[in-house]
């Protein structure tokens, strides 16, 4: 019987700070931006876990959901309402970035016998930033997705507020704990997409008589793919409404 994937989401709260003590204040600020502010800042994290397994013929489930929730709560109890830099030993020598937190959680969940085979782990800091680990890629590589928004006219008379999700894939830097430089990525998107597009008629900006969602997703890709600060552009996703979105992956 083929494996079935099951996804479970659970929330926890924690605070953290991006900071390397061996760097001076200017270097920390340049690399981490507002995330370096002392004493740190908090998030309502959302953890999404994907497990795989065959459907049990007796229960009709891949894994007992009660057991999965119990394990997740047990693991997250150590993290919930903690300052990750100050309260947990895992981050004495590494920055508690989303990527590094995801790696720690992966190790803890992979060791649990009652949750099936761990396939994917997605950690949402908030609606604007998510880190993904997969069994296929391993724990030294991650994808980071950043959300942006802009409002533009694309067919001559109707404007839309577009949610733009940019995913970058690559190795997790051992020094910074990040796949890519988020401050530099934000600057790139602001310079090449958000400022040129926001409040504009996209037909004029892109010099084309018609702008579809598909065309726009590719246009965003073409503007940023060669300038990603680190890692490789993996996906551009444009959400027009809650019922309609477009994806482009090169």
Q: In sequence order, what are the beta bridge partners of 164?
A: 148, 238
Out of 19, 43, 99, 125, which one is annotated catalytic? Answer: 125
Concerning whether 154 is annotated as a catalytic residue, the answer is: no
> What is the distance between the alpha carbons of residues 94 and 170, in angstroms, rounded to a whole number?
18
| 138-153, strands of its sheet edge to edge | 82-83, 4-16, 41-53, 117-126, 129-134, 138-153, 159-171, 232-241, 244-248
Q: Where are the beta strands (DSSP E) in the chain?
A: 4-16, 41-53, 82-83, 117-126, 129-134, 138-153, 159-171, 232-241, 244-248
Concerning whether 43 is annotated as a catalytic residue, the answer is: no
- Residue 105 CB neighbours (<10 A): 23
Concerning whether 125 is annotated as a catalytic residue, the answer is: yes
Out of 11, 77, 78, 81, which one is annotated catalytic? Answer: 81
Out of 35, 43, 130, 169, which one is annotated catalytic? Answer: 35
User: Which secondary structure element, helix H or strand E, spans residue 204, and what is its range?
Assistant: helix 202-205
Q: Burial code of 131-169, b = ≥16 C-beta within 10 A, e = fewer?
A: bbbbeeeebebbbbbbebebebbbeeeeebebbbbbbbb
Residues that are catalytic: 35, 81, 125
């Amino acid at each position: 019987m083929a494996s079935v994937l099951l996804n479970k989401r659970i929330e926890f709260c924690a605070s953290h700070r991006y900071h390397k003590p061996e760097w001076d204040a200017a270097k920390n600020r340049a690399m981490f931006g507002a995330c370096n502010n002392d004493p740190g800042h908090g998030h309502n994290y959302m953890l999404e876990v994907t497990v795989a397994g065959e459907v049990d013929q007796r229960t009709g489930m891949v894994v007992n959901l009660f057991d999965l929730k119990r394990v997740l709560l047990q693991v997250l109890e150590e993290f919930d309402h903690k300052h990750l830099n100050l309260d947990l030993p895992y981050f004495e020598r590494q920055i508690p970035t989303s990527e590094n937190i995801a790696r720690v959680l992966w190790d803890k969940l992979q060791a649990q016998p009652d949750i099936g085979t761990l396939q994917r782990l997605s950690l949402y800091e908030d609606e604007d930033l998510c880190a993904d680990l997969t069994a296929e890629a391993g724990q030294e590589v991650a994808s980071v997705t950043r959300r942006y928004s802009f409002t533009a006219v694309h067919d001559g008379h109707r404007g839309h507020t577009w949610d733009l999700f940019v995913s970058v894939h690559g190795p997790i830097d051992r020094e910074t704990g990040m796949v890519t430089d988020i401050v530099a990525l934000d600057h790139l998107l602001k310079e090449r997409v958000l400022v040129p597009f926001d409040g504009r008629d996209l037909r004029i900006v892109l010099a084309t008589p018609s702008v579809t969602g598909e065309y726009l997703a590719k246009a965003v890709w073409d503007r940023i793919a060669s300038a990603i600060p680190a890692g490789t552009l993996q996906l551009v996703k444009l959400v027009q409404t809650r019922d309609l979105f477009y994806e482009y992956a090169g």
